[in-house]
Chain A
């Protein structure tokens, strides 16, 4: 029997799961709670302060990894969850989910490389 090619998407899914479990809660806390509440000062995430930091190649690379892996994780998770909920047409759902993830990947690449 032929070996499956699922490792491509599953590898991204597994890596994304690890990244989003460890990194996203911290990011959500910082960007969603701490900064709006002013814990880090009023201009913590102001454009002037954050732009030079984010546009450094290494920070861009890390951000690319975190965003893209999380998106691929989400795409595969949505595909599996819909399947678990009993929705048929797995091939179609997979295609749509991965196409969206691919578009987000390109978008992230251009957004970060354009800085």
Chain B
């Protein structure tokens, strides 16, 4: 327990650290600035700003804004990225409630009842409850991360290569089972990602693989490049298809009466609590994530409600529960990343990408060698959530105005902004081209109903998986049964196999689809 407080203390000390800022125009005078807090604030604001844009999901937002954090020191960059992540999520729910265009799968559910509430003139309370629920969930999740962080790290240190490999397999299987859509196609996407990760030079032998003597490919496909192409550019192209302005039925009447009534608060308190618990659990699971959490929370509330017919017609519980679950899961998904070094979903995969660019290899070692980084980030999560609550409620008016920006002006701006961003990472025009190509690939994938998120996950886990697979087999002298004879590894593998079979069983497949479909209809 004492550990917990000293760790969190360190975290908050990092967040509230003052840095002497000596701008040249002040003539040598220096001003103490709470740098990390400012970065967190800017991140949350910019994240919301981009996340609010209709049709741009959380992953796309984080991918697009990655380059702007590259110039910062590592701690600051990660704090800012975390801020961007929450901001984007919050922005996404704002869009779902006000325009009924969910930027990503996670906020589809919020749109169901949120938009109905907005139509009835209750957009204010819906947004407020979403913010309050998210904040509560964020507080609980922060404590949970702090509690579970240290013990899980100890566990992780006992892991050998075989265990790591099995754990990653489990994570990927979880990602497949908990995702929407076909299991087979999701696995195919992961393997595609794994293959993409192998482009470039081999870690051990240094041999150049699948790079066709193109110098830019010798280092491998840039992670930010692929992410920006698959999510940024592909989303833009796809949105151009649907293109027409008329399906943006923006709530025209002013958002007034932000404060929820006492009854609203009472009605939503239990859903928030249940959503938080459900979201926290689903978030920790490797491969778990915000999407399934919000769907599951919505379904649960509908099952528990005295009058399920109210759902889909503007029930406040239908906003409170998924939004809390969403946010709780978003935060607890940092646990596998920070302790085991394994990103459980695409956003966390982007975080790994960012860490790698700053020369940090996520995993148990980071927690021991750079505690200020980990705990600073955890503390910043709480601060970030508080900021979102304070800033965003009064600023709803501005976000609404932003929603009116026509798409015809928005998309060229995003294209240009992304291009400059990608170029600035390595100063390589080739990267911009590659991102464009991956944009086309992503567009094709969307058209064939393949999810790009597992691809990204596979791409990030690829090098790690290959390295551990090789090492495990080298240690066992080529004996592939090592994954099934070491107890820890064997149980992880058994769970993966069990999950995969469950997901493929017709009866359970129906149940799984039901969770997604029921909340949509």
The answer to whether A binds B is no
